């Protein structure tokens, strides 16, 4: 395109290329002003939602009108329909490039940069704009003699920003459950998918960035995407002062407050954060740093989602999301497939399952493909790129193949999808929660679909795309659709155990016991040492209430994985359902000894304590459930019942009301509808609902004849007298 005119801008120099487009330096044909032109790829231009998201960036940046936000001068489409944006041409470096070069910053520098970022976020949030993909690649540091520190922060890439009010009128529709963001910096509520995300997700991302600036590493390091999402949702980061003792206590407190799991426990607003940082920097509360009143920066998406910085001329081949290797050097977040292919270049060795199986061959379809940057519209994990992720939002993958006639040098690998499925194989205990999101599976499917559309792509990627769609359907409670998708995936590749496993769960949920067992057997024949395939038949029997056969199969699965918390927990639930509560409690305690965050086990213990009229024990267990999963309807019900049992009527009434509000807001079906209706009716009359003891005395069904659950493929759905685990 060199020498051509786009709008009123003549293209002079190519700056970089990524998954969605190319960035050029350009000059205005009349005024002579220089700018950066981002041009959307032709195939992307044919996708209306993608074009709208592309223009979303311009609309959002223009609406904020802050010196801390990159200026967007113009946008439009050429005569042939090619979409483009024109932005200011920035000279300097990204925060990502600086951190690769210097690792940690001094506490004062980190606080100063965080203060500028917070100021720009405040300007965006006050215009109803949530960035949703804040990371160091989207924070650009521009020399500016008018600022105290001699540089100004610029916030880039609002391509996946969430708009509100009049700004949202023409924005593309966001599908419920879809994930947006870059996993290394993603808030717990973003990781869950389908959960409302507001401005406090940006504050969490800024907490990750501030932590990285102070400590020289991000808060959470993981070998796979599923594990990383789970760590954001459940694990506590190491205190910054344990890594960098020079960090002041005040700055450590600010950082950990930003990294709180629950949004309500973070700073209420970016302005409140500005005040806290001003205090930490020794300024009066509410004061503005000279020259940095609104200067801020944020991160961009390492997906093909258009995270294109206007100009970055340095480090063109470095990875997007740096973490720290065991030896202290910077490297990209490791992926299962990338690790396998990276043995020749000194990368992490392929992850192995407990039994020694390599995990990546299932996912790569027999081809050894080097991991590059995933090109995904919805979400991706950063990787390297031939053009540099800093240049144009993601870069393409490069690598070699073995055993297949594929030119991998031109293939973009589905890094996010591959990591996601590898993590699914490794997931254990409460970490499996990361795989109960319909949106997460849909994002993995989108990654595989885009990669599979490339000429010469392995057939396994096509099967994986359909399989992930099947799990997305199942977790959205569309079992019939899930069944059809799993059958389609098996038709494309019958040698892969995961779609057989999914089919077994879908058939079981539809009440087709024998076909479900047959599918479970097929999965087990393909992967006899994977505990999930061995446990598949047990889950079918448990769903069919054939508890004796379920116990037999669970015991068999424990021979394969004796320390797996999920197996111990599910066996405890089966024993509880058969009135063998001594055995139930033994296995429950064993499960919690392996993983204290097993929500279903705490809920079962709350149920058990309620049955025995042990109010204090029931309340303690229910409180643990709600602490681990605040949006658990069954946890709220158990807590309310326990409070009522203890005579704390006022608080019990409040929790019952919270339960009803949650069910109405989310359409949650884990508590039987009749129980919710009874509670709603009682509250409408200004009375308390019947508690556990009163319900049983009035003839309500006991847990031994409980309601049917939605599905049997997860611990969170096992019916116990209205407490649907």
Q: What is the pLDDT of residues 333-389, one digit of tens each?
A: 222 222 222 222 222 222 323 333 323 333 333 222 222 222 222 222 232 222 222
DSSP 8-state secondary structure symbol assigned to residue 407: -
Q: Is the pLDDT of residue 536 over 90?
A: yes
* The two structure tokens encoding residue 132: 């949703």
Maximum Cα–Cα distance across the chain: 86
- Told to judge if 133 belongs to the known catalytic residues of this protein, a careful annotator would answer yes
Nearest to 329 by CA among 94, 136, 98, 100: 100
Residue 292 vs residue 559, higher pLDDT: 559
Residue 49: both structure tokens together: 């939602």
Helix (H, G, I), strand (E, B) or coil at 235: coil
Whose structure tokens read 């031939």? 386
Q: What pLDDT is attached to residue 715?
A: 37
- Distances in Å between the Cα of 585 and the Cα atoms of 84, 543, 638, 717 are 62, 20, 18, 19
Task: Using pLDDT thresholds of 50, 70 and 90, give the confidence band for residue 127.
Answer: confident
- In the predicted model, what is the mean pLDDT of the chain? 74
pLDDT (average), residues 329-333 = 24
Mean pLDDT lowest among 37-41, 264-268, 565-569: 37-41
Rounded Cα distance between 251 and 214, Å, is 9
Confidence of residue 70 (pLDDT cuts 50, 70, 90): confident
pLDDT band at residue 18 under the 50/70/90 scheme: low
Residue 312 has a pLDDT of 25
Q: What is the pLDDT of residue 60?
A: 67
Average of per-residue pLDDT across 280-289: 52
CA neighbours within 13 Å on the CB side: how many for 189? 22
Mean pLDDT along residues 520-528: 92
> Which pLDDT belongs to residue 458?
86
* 693 vs 721, higher pLDDT: 693
- pLDDT tens figures, 407-465: 434 577 888 888 889 889 888 888 888 788 888 898 889 889 988 888 888 888 999 99
- Residue 76's pLDDT is 86
Residues in the chain: 725
CA distance 209 to 202: 11
Determine what percent of the chain is predicted with pLDDT higher than 90. 36
Greater confidence (601 vs 433) lies with 601
Q: What angle do CA 463, 465, 469 make, to 5 degrees?
A: 115
Report residue 575 as tokens: 């024993």
| Whole-angstrom distance, CA of residue 52 vs CA of residue 35 | 22
Question: In sequence order, which ranges of 8-163 are alpha helices (DSSP H)?
Answer: 42-45, 48-64, 95-102, 107-125
Q: Which of 109, 99, 70 is nearest to 277 (CA)?
A: 109
pLDDT at 403 over 80: no
- Tokens standing for 173? 């529709």
Q: Which of these ranges, 30-34, 650-654, 665-669, has the smallest mean pLDDT?
A: 665-669
Catalytic pick from 133, 278, 447, 641?
Answer: 133
Give the residue-averaged pLDDT of 67-78: 84
Mean pLDDT of 303-330: 26
Work out the average pLDDT over 278-299.
Answer: 45
Backbone angles phi, psi at 152, to 5 degrees: -120, 145
Tokens 């105290």 belong to: 148
Nearest to 538 by CA among 529, 528, 548: 548
Reading the block at residue 255, the tokens are 């950082």
The alpha carbon of 103 is separated from its chain's Cα centroid by a whole number of angstroms, namely 25
Q: What is the pLDDT of residues 137-167, one digit of tens each?
A: 889 999 987 777 789 999 887 654 443 343 3
Element (H, E) at 423: helix 415-426
Q: What is the CA radius of gyration of the chain?
A: 26
Q: Which residues are CB-neighbours of 665 under 8 A, at least 6 positions away?
A: none
Q: What is the pTM of this model?
A: 0.52
Using DSSP's 3-state secondary structure scheme, residue 81 falls into: coil
What band does 694 get if pLDDT is binned at 50, 70 and 90?
A: low
Tell me: the pLDDT tens digits for 88-105?
Answer: 888 889 999 999 998 899
Q: Any bridge partners for residue 143, and if so which?
A: 151
Cα separations (Å) of 564 from 364, 501, 540? 27, 18, 19
Domains of the chain with CATH codes: 5-87 (3.30.200.20), 93-280 (1.10.510.10), 322-537 (1.25.40.10), 597-724 (1.25.40.10)
| Residue of 281 and 193 predicted with greater confidence | 281
Cα separation, 440 vs 429, whole angstroms: 18
- CA 70 vs. chain centroid, Å, equals 27
| pLDDT of 709 over the 70 cut | no
- What is the band of 662 on the pLDDT scale with cuts at 50, 70, 90? confident
Q: For residue 636, is pLDDT > 60?
A: yes
Percentage of the chain beyond pLDDT 70 is 72
Cα separation of 567 and 288, whole Å? 55
- Angle at the Cα of 18 (from 17 to 24), degrees rounded to 5? 30
Element (H, E) at 27: strand 21-28
Alpha-carbon distance 313 to 13, whole Å? 11
pLDDT score of 61 = 66
Q: Taking 70 as the threshold, does the pLDDT of residue 287 lie above it?
A: no
What pLDDT shows up at residue 501? 96
Higher pLDDT, 692 or 270: 270
Q: Which of 120-134, 168-182, 611-625, 668-682 has the lowest mean pLDDT?
A: 168-182
Residue 9, SS3 per DSSP:
strand
Residues 6+ apart with CB under 8 A from 475: 436, 437, 438, 441
Helix (H, G, I), strand (E, B) or coil at 712: coil
């Amino acid at each position: 395109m060199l020498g051509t005119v786009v709008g009123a801008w003549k293209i002079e120099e190519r700056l970089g290329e990524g998954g969605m487009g190319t960035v050029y330096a350009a000059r205005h044909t009349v005024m002579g002003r220089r700018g950066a032109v981002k041009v959307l790829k032709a195939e992307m231009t044919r996708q209306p939602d993608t074009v709208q998201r592309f223009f979303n960036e311009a609309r959002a940046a223009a609406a904020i009108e802050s010196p801390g936000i990159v200026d967007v001068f113009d946008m439009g489409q050429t005569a042939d329909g090619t979409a483009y944006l024109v932005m200011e041409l920035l000279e300097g470096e990204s925060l990502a490039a600086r951190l690769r070069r210097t690792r940690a910053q001094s506490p004062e520098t980190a606080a100063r940069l965080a203060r500028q970022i917070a100021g720009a976020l405040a300007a965006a949030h006050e215009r109803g704009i949530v960035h949703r993909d804040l990371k160091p690649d989207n924070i650009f540091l521009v020399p500016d003699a008018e600022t105290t520190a001699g540089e100004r922060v610029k916030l880039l890439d609002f391509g996946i920003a969430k708009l509100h009010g009049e700004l949202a009128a023409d924005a593309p529709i966001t599908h419920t459950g879809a994930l947006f963001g870059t996993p290394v910096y993603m808030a717990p509520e973003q990781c869950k998918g389908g959960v409302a995300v507001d401005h406090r997700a940006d504050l969490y991302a800024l907490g990750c960035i501030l932590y990285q600036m102070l400590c020289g590493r991000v808060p959470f390091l993981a070998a796979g995407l599923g594990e990383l999402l789970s760590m954001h949702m459940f694990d506590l980061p190491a205190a910054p002062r344990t890594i960098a003792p020079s960090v002041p206590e005040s700055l450590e407190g600010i950082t950990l407050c930003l990294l709180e799991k629950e949004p309500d426990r973070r700073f209420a607003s970016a302005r409140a954060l500005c005040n806290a940082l001003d205090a930490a920097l020794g300024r009066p509360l509410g004061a503005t740093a000279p020259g940095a009143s609104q200067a801020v920066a944020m991160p961009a998406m390492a997906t093909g989602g258009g995270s294109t910085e206007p100009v970055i001329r340095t480090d063109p081949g470095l990875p997007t999301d740096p973490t720290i290797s065991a030896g202290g050097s910077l490297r990209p977040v490791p992926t299962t497939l990338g690790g396998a292919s990276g043995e020749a270049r000194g990368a992490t060795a392929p992850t192995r399952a407990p039994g020694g199986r390599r995990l990546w061959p299932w996912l790569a379809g027999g081809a050894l493909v080097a991991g590059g940057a995933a090109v995904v519209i919805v979400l991706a994990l950063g990787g390297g790129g031939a053009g540099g992720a800093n240049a144009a939002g993601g870069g393409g993958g490069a690598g070699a193949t073995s055993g297949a006639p594929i030119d991998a040098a031109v293939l973009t690998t589905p890094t996010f999808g591959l990591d996601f499925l590898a993590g699914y194989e490794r997931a254990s205990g409460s970490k499996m929660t990361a795989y109960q999101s319909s949106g997460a599976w849909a994002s993995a499917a989108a990654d595989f679909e885009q990669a599979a559309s490339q000429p010469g792509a392995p057939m396994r990627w096509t099967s994986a795309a359909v399989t992930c769609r099947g799990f997305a359907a199942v977790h959205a409670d569309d079992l019939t659709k899930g069944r059809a998708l799993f059958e389609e995936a098996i038709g494309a590749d019958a040698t892969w155990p995961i779609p057989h496993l999914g089919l077994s769960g879908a058939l079981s949920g539809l009440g087709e016991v024998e076909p479900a067992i047959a599918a479970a057997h097929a999965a087990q024949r393909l992967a006899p040492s994977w505990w999930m395939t061995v446990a598949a038949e047990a889950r079918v029997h448990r769903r069919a209430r054939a508890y004796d056969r379920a116990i037999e199969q669970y015991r068999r699965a424990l021979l394969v994985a004796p320390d797996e918390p999920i197996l111990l927990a599910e066996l405890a639930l089966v024993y509880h359902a058969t009135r063998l509560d001594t055995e139930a409690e033994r296995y429950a305690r064993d499960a919690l000894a392996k993983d204290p965050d097993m929500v279903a086990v705490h809920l079962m213990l709350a149920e058990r304590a309620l049955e025995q009229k042990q109010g204090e024990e029931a309340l303690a267990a229910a409180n643990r459930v709600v602490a681990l999963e605040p949006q658990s309807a069954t946890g709220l019900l158990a807590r309310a019942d326990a409070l009522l049992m203890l005579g704390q009527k006022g608080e019990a009434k409040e929790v019952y009301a919270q339960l009803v509000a949650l069910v109405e807001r989310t359409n949650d079906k884990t508590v039987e509808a009749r129980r919710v209706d009874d509670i709603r009716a009682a509250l409408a009359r200004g009375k308390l609902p019947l508690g556990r003891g009163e319900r049983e005395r009035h003839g309500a069904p006991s847990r031994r004849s409980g309601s049917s659950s939605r599905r049997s493929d997860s611990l969170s759905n096992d019916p116990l007298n209205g407490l649907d685990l």
